[in-house]
Chain A
């Protein structure tokens, strides 16, 4: 039994030892906002925040997360009010099919936390190396993260 918090709610995960965090979120809890793009640790579609830090949920074992606080894309908004990073993605049209978007938003929050309100497009592009998007060409994603970083620090 592993005790952990997911989007502010305490859970006791009683799962086989080989269970990945992404499987627990999607298959056990129905939190399907966290996507599986590759399952080989490359694409970042599965990014979640663990204790505030972006991590690939396909490369984390639930059994090792005793006491951790996990935030998925479902846990970012406050009721009907989008998280500033989510709002920036919407504002800047930073998605087409949306498959990569939850992982991008989570990565963007990490970038904003590490680099502050004035993070440059060059730094954002370097820090997005672990996130693959097959649709957008990244231009609007980089613009959204720049705007989201500003909004997070103004908030």
Chain B
């Protein structure tokens, strides 16, 4: 790994200023994507701006129909949080399925969504739970924020500060985990609201996306029978050394049925 200048700012504004002052900076949160990338020399920033000790960016609060989670909140903290469990148990379950305990102790919500790995879990929750993503300079709906593989609406140096998930009446996440990496081979988040159902898929394509046919069918009738036989077009899905697009298309149907069952019984 190449050496870098480490900056440890005391506020979000200081962090953004340090980023802007450097010609080639990266933010460091939990480091569980960035440090491996630096080791592999895929990234070699001259300046590392450490967000991990910034005040006010961790923790969970419920405000009406929104559950707000600070960007620096670790996966372990989300999984253990009683407010999350009470409001959106599907989100607690999702956090507990990320990586392993040591990854969950360090990795953060903001790091996952800023990175937008096509097999990451939180992007599916953000889309299905109609999340608002707040940064130091703007606010985005999840549908505008995620822009395909490793791409987001964030501009250079923009810092995610918190994410507001809309609290559903019921929801569940079903994930087929890659047995070695634990990332999603295919996973589906189903969220039921009084005004309709939202369904999001991750792992299967070049980025998380909403499954609108499943949403329409489940809004009409919320049971596994309503989506039995529904499949995605495999032309839009990923094919790699793990499995073919056709296999992923099938898996999405299986995960959808599991997530619907989970939201009914969960």
Distance from B11 Cβ to chain A, minimum over Cβ atoms (Å): 17
Distance from B129 Cβ to chain A, minimum over Cβ atoms (Å): 24
Distance from B75 Cβ to chain A, minimum over Cβ atoms (Å): 12
Do B31 and A61 touch (CB < 8 A)?
A: yes
Distance from B40 Cβ to chain A, minimum over Cβ atoms (Å): 8
Known: A59-B31, A64-B50, A64-B52. A41 touches B6 (CB 8 A): no
Interface residues of B, Cβ cutoff 8 Å to A: 1-6, 8, 28, 31-32, 35-36, 38-40, 48, 50, 52, 99-103, 105-106, 180-182
Known: A129-B100, A130-B99, A130-B100. A55 touches B105 (CB 8 A): yes
Complex partner residue of A59 from B50, B101, B106, B180, CB under 8 angstroms: B106
Known: A17-B5, A59-B36. A44 touches B105 (CB 8 A): no
Do A17 and B101 touch (CB < 8 A)?
A: no
Sample of 27 A–B contacts (CB below 8 Å)? A17-B3, A17-B6, A18-B3, A18-B38, A20-B35, A39-B39, A40-B36, A41-B32, A41-B35, A42-B180, A42-B181, A53-B105, A55-B105, A55-B106, A56-B102, A56-B106, A60-B106, A61-B35, A64-B8, A64-B52, A107-B102, A110-B101, A128-B100, A129-B99, A130-B99, A130-B100, A130-B101
Report the interface size for chain A: residues with CB under 8 A from the other chain: 29
A91 on the B face (CB < 8 A): no
Interface residues of A, Cβ cutoff 8 Å to B: 16-18, 20, 39-42, 44, 47, 53-56, 59-61, 63-64, 66, 107, 110-111, 114, 127-131
Complex formed: what's the CA distance from A107 to B103 in Å? Answer: 12
Do A18 and B100 touch (CB < 8 A)?
A: no
Do B101 and A107 touch (CB < 8 A)?
A: yes
Closest to B103 in A: A130
Task: Work out how many contacts link A and B, with CB atoms closer than 8 A.
Answer: 75
Do A59 and B35 touch (CB < 8 A)?
A: yes
Chain B residues contacting A17 (CB-CB under 8 Å) are: 3-6, 48
Complex formed: what's the CA distance from A64 to B48 in Å? Answer: 10
Chain A residues contacting B36 (CB-CB under 8 Å) are: 40-41, 59
Complex formed: what's the CA distance from A56 to B31 in Å? Answer: 11
Complex formed: what's the CA distance from A41 to B32 in Å? Answer: 8
Chain B residues contacting A130 (CB-CB under 8 Å) are: 99-103
Do B32 and A59 touch (CB < 8 A)?
A: yes
Chain A residues contacting B5 (CB-CB under 8 Å) are: 17
Complex partner residue of B101 from A20, A54, A60, A63, CB under 8 angstroms: A54
Most chain A Cβ neighbours within 10 Å, of B2, B36, B38, B101: B101
